[in-house]
Amino acid sequence: MLKLGIRVSNNINVGRGHFERCLSISYHIGYKIYWFLDYKSEFFEKKIHTKDEIFYEKKNDKIDKLLECLSEKNINVALIDSYSIAKKDISNLAKIIPVCIFQDKIEFINVKMIICPHPINIKKKYGNIILNGPKFAPIAKKFFKKKENYNFDSLTILVSMGAYDSSGVTLNVIEAINNFSIKDKFNLKTIIILAKGSSIINKVKLLIKKYRKFELIIDPKDMVNIYNLSDIAIGAPGLSHLERLYMGLPTILIAQNNIHELLVDGWVNLGCAIKSENKINLIEQKLADIINNKKIKNKLIYNGIKVVDGKGSLRIANSILKLV
């Protein structure tokens, strides 16, 4: 019987995507799961099934509690989703039990299974299972195909640069949308998504006071409805982008770090996004491209729905279940 331990980052520096993709997989496991988080938070605790157990590591880069529970809870498989944990610690754990890791960059590590739901090539090494590409996009059950409601006379733009957007890209995006709306006389409504605790919330509030038709939503309860109401998104290439692809929401992607640069290029090459640098004038230009060219918009919608079918979490869970 599978006894799965999930060690996942949930600290403010990494956002919520790591946790959410592990959570989507947990729905398909069918057994009690042991969760190991960075810190205690009611937000995350409410999402975890009541039958599961939650533990907290002393530091973001530690797996001490997980190691302690290997014998105490008879954990026989570990799923790790964290940039903070050292490769040597993961490799040492993999010598004891099968270890599965989420990976968002091209880097080999000697574990049982590597999961990369992005269009970058993770080479297979002997003895490893590689789950690579959008067919392993871990989409939660709540998402569904977006209804076509694209209206060139009145557009809703979704700005979703990650839960916390510590890089502050959202601020440049707001300026770009406002500039475009004035110059091209478009009737644009903008929805901005951030999480409680984001360091830029007050800056965003001050900025949108100057402009019309900007709405800031903190910790939205229903992203499905927000996706369905939106016509175009401007965001980062994480879990939310996978959700947007599945929902048929065309997206302009902006990288926030070096890992994102590789992911953005992968999605652009696959025809599933438009890329922009984090500069106001360039964001404005890309927004004009996607709004003024219906063929580009339709291509992004078609390709996104084609490559992300919503069954990635189930495929990953089934692969994990086969390890014991």
**What are 252-263's pLDDT values in tens digits?**
999 998 889 999
Instruction: Please say if the pLDDT value at position 150 is more than 80.
Output: no
The pLDDT value recorded for residue 41 is 86
- The answer on pLDDT for 145 being more than 60 is no
Tell me: pLDDT of 144 over 80.
Answer: no
How far is the C-alpha of 3 from the C-alpha of 1, rounded, in Å? Answer: 6
The top-scoring range by mean pLDDT among 15-19, 99-103, 107-111 is: 99-103
Specify the pLDDT at position 163: 87
Cβ of 121: how many Cβ atoms within 10 Å? Answer: 12
CA-only gyration radius of the chain, Å: 20
**What mean pLDDT do residues 238-255 have?**
94
More confident residue, 254 or 148: 254
Banded model confidence at residue 321, pLDDT cuts 50, 70, 90: very high
| Residues 118 and 266: beta-carbon distance below 8 Å | yes
pLDDT of residue 13: 73
> What is the predicted pLDDT for the residue at 258?
85
Q: What is the CATH number of domain 154-307?
A: 3.40.50.2000
Mean pLDDT of 65-75: 96
How much is the pLDDT for 151?
52
Over residues 173-177, mean pLDDT: 96
Confidence label for 212 from pLDDT (cuts 50, 70 and 90): confident
To the nearest whole percent, how much of the chain has pLDDT over 70? 95
Which of 100-109, 142-151, 210-219, 292-301 comes out lowest in average pLDDT? 142-151
pLDDT digits (tens, 9 = 90+) for 258-298: 889 999 999 999 999 999 999 999 999 999 999 999 899 99
Residue type at 212? R
For range 51-74, the mean pLDDT: 96
Smallest CA-to-CA distance from 36 within 50, 22, 16 is with 22
For residue 301, CA distances in Å to 145, 154, 249 come to 11, 19, 6
pLDDT of residue 280: 97
Return the pLDDT at 4: 98
Question: Average pLDDT, whole number, for the chain?
Answer: 91
Residue range 238-264: mean pLDDT, rounded: 93
Distance of CA 227 to the CA centre of its chain: 14
When pLDDT is averaged across residues 28-33 and rounded to a whole number, the result is 96
Return d(Cα 217, Cα 203) in angstroms, integer.
Answer: 14
For residue 271, count other CB atoms closer than 10 A to its CB: 16
The third-level CATH classification (topology) of the domain covering 4-139+310-321 is: Rossmann fold (3.40.50)
Mean pLDDT of 181-196: 87
Report the DSSP pairing between strands 232-235 and 154-160: parallel
pLDDT above 70 for 142 = no
Q: Are 102 and 18 in contact, with CB atoms under 8 Å apart?
A: yes
Q: What's the confidence (pLDDT) of residue 222?
A: 86
Note whether 217 and 239 are within 8 A (CB).
no
For CA atoms 133, 27, 255, 290, the dihedral sign is: positive
CB 21 within 8 A of CB 173: no
Model confidence band, residue 125 (pLDDT cutoffs 50, 70, 90): confident
Provide the residue ranges of all domains of the chain, joining segments of one domain with +. 4-139+310-321, 154-307
